[in-house]
Amino acid sequence: MEEKKKEMLKIVQNVVDEDESERGPLVKLIEDFHKHYESLYDQYDHLTVELKNNVHKTPREKDVSSSSSDSDSGSDSENSSKEKGSKNGKKKGDIHKATDGFHQELEAAKLEVTLLQNKLKALCGEKETIELAYDALKSKLKSNEKTVEDLKTKTESLSSEKSNLLTEKDDLSSKLERSVKTEVDLKQQIEELIRDKDGLAIEQENAAILKAEIKKLLSEKQTLELELDSAKQQTVNLEETLKVTAAENKTLSLRISDITDELLRTQSTVEEIKSEYANSKVEVDERDRGLLSLQQVHDAYTSKNSEQIKVLEEEISSLKLDLDTATREKRELKERFEGAVTEARKMAEEVSELKAQISQMEVNENESNSTIEALTKKVNNFSAEKNQLEAQTEKLKEHSGVLEHDVSTLQVQNREMKLELDRKGDDIAEYLTQIEGLHEKLSNSENRMKEYLDEKENLAGEVENLESNEAGLEDDTMIRTDEANQLRGKIRILQDRVEELEKDMRKKDELVTELKRTIANLKRDVRVAEDEANTSLEKTRRYEVQFRLSNQKLRVTEQLLAEKEEAYRTAAEKFREECKILEDEAGKLTAALAASNRAYRVMITSISDKAKNTVAGIESMGKKFEEDNEKFSTRIFGMSEDIRTLKHCVAEKNVEREKLEEQLRNLTEELQSEREHGLLIRNNLSKLESEAENEKGEKTKLLAALNELKKTTEELDVLLKKKNEQVIILENEKREAIRQLCLWNDNLQSRYNMLKNMVAKSIS
């Protein structure tokens, strides 16, 4: 029984830990305990019945039994008296003594019966208390099981709610990060808009300055007409200089033809030197063969004739002297060959220099032609610009109000222009790095050419050992001459390409005149851009206020979440501590129950009280948690509403942003047209500056006009970076030329490898 009690207590302690697997053995132990208790109860009832039967016998029954026994004994005694006769008197005294002893035993039995009745009453009371305690334990176990199940369901619901809250927290944190990023981006955009506003204010001032300059230009128009006449005279002078340059080109072409003839002569001399070198090499090889034969003879006949050996040694020494002379001749021929090669190189360098001079002269011719055409165009353009300026002055007066509206739009455009300019600056830097890489490739190709020349010299040394490759070398020389002719053809193609590029530049100069017309339209758009920028600034300020409020709300919600998480953690820790305390107390109770049954009952009552208290505490904690959960759900609902409002605001902002992007695209297109027009103006100004430098007599007037025009162009330099595109085009053309040179280099290298393989095969 005591062992079963201990096992039941252990299982009760483990039930607190909510292990469902231990409920089955607990139920079995309780059933065994109940059966054993019933068997004991039946035995106890049987004993009590027997005791009651023994106690409730009357003294009469005992007297009857005693009298019956006495009668029996009397009958026996009578029979014996009949038989014996004299013994009856003696036995009477013994009967009296027996009756006295029997009365004493009856009194003792009565005392024992009273004691047993008292014990029965005590046992009945104990039985009732045990039954009550047993029923209480059953009810408590059932209630504990229910509470455990309720706690499990609550913990599962709480864990699910916790996971949901954690996911919501992660979503809120990600949304917070996004909102912070958007806030930072909006702040940057606001700062950029403020900067653009300042820049547009400066541009407004510049527009006023431009108005004043337009008036000055009208006054200077007459002076420019006089300058046109002088420009016409300059065109006549430039035509004369063109004729002179053409004559110089003819003389240079004659000189180039002479140099080519000299190159052919040097090539013929090189071929003759090669043939002489081959003949000398044949002689040297024959002598080497003779030496080898003599050495073989010497080795064969050393054992036979010592005198013949001496003669052969003398012949060998003479042959060695002949070899030394042959090697000297060979070195001299090699030096002559190298000198011829260096002369050929010098001649080739002179030819390249003359070609460069010719190309420069052609460029100068083209430039002079372009200047003549430009001056003639300027004569026409100045007359057209005169009329345009008169019309523009009237339009500027009419559209002075429109320009102020366009400034607001240009503020937004200016920001995008800055971004595009930065991007283009990065692209230009990349192009410059690519150009540097191409220069490095050119230098590497030159180094390779030098290495190829060095290898060529080494091959010349190897050619000395070759005998049967003269025809192949002659074919190689013919191939090289063909390659030179091909290179000349390529140079001509490149010259044609340069002429095409010059034509393209002329076309671009014609576009400059068209772009001037777009400047007036862009000035109108500037004012529109300013008004739009002001409206966008007001909207951004409103958005900033909304974002600040939303950020404050999000921070408050984060603080509440953190506080609730801390409260939940503290409650869980308290619950765990209470569970630990209950476990410790249960261990103490098990030790006390093992000591005695009374302590067992006391401990059960204390455990029941504490269990009630813990259940009450758990219920209170559950109520608090439900209240907190309701509060938290209400706050989350409020937060979700705030988030919805934020999403709505973000959607509105996205719509407005798309509208602004469309406006910005339109403005960027207009600004690009302005840039092109400004670039054309800048080109015209540079040309005017060059003309002003050439004109000495009218230098002062042109300098004044150009300085005023420079001021206008410096203000529009931000919009005139489209010139970089032309530079990029020229760089691409340069790359194509470099690519052609690289292809030519690759062809030379492949042919060189072919020659090298041929030489290696011939050596093998």
Q: Which two tokens stand for residue 510?
A: 């014609």
Distance CA 252, CA 361 (A): 10
Closest to 335 in 3D by CA, of 453, 472, 464: 464
Distance CA 643, CA 647 (A): 6
CB 453 within 8 A of CB 746: no
Distance CA 528, CA 707 (A): 30
CB 654 within 8 A of CB 345: no
Instruction: Enumerate residues 6+ apart whose C-beta is below 8 A from 497.
Output: 733, 737
Distance CA 702, CA 225 (A): 11
Closest to 464 in 3D by CA, of 473, 454, 475: 473
**Rounded average pLDDT per 10-residue block, the chain, 764 residues:** 56 53 61 66 67 55 44 46 49 56 62 71 74 73 73 72 72 68 70 70 68 67 66 66 66 64 65 66 65 60 56 63 68 67 66 66 66 64 64 61 60 65 64 62 63 64 58 64 67 68 68 63 64 66 66 67 64 64 62 56 57 59 61 60 62 66 66 64 62 60 63 63 69 76 78 78 73
pLDDT at 669: 72
CB 493 within 8 A of CB 658: no
Distance CA 221, CA 383 (A): 10
**Dihedral angle at the C-alpha atoms of 327, 330, 331, 335, nearest 10 degrees?**
180
Instruction: Enumerate residues 6+ apart whose C-beta is below 8 A from 465.
Output: 281, 763
Distance CA 372, CA 365 (A): 10
Backbone angles phi, psi at 18, to 5 degrees: 65, 45
Which residues on neighbouring strands pair with residue 407, listed in sequence order? 527, 528
pLDDT at 77: 46
Q: Where in the chain are the domains?
A: 181-589+628-763
Give this prediction's pTM. Answer: 0.19
- Does an H or E element contain 315, and which? helix 306-398
Q: What is the DSSP string of 697-741?
A: TTHHHHHHHHHHHHHHHHHTGGG-TTHHHHHHHHHHHHHHHHHHH
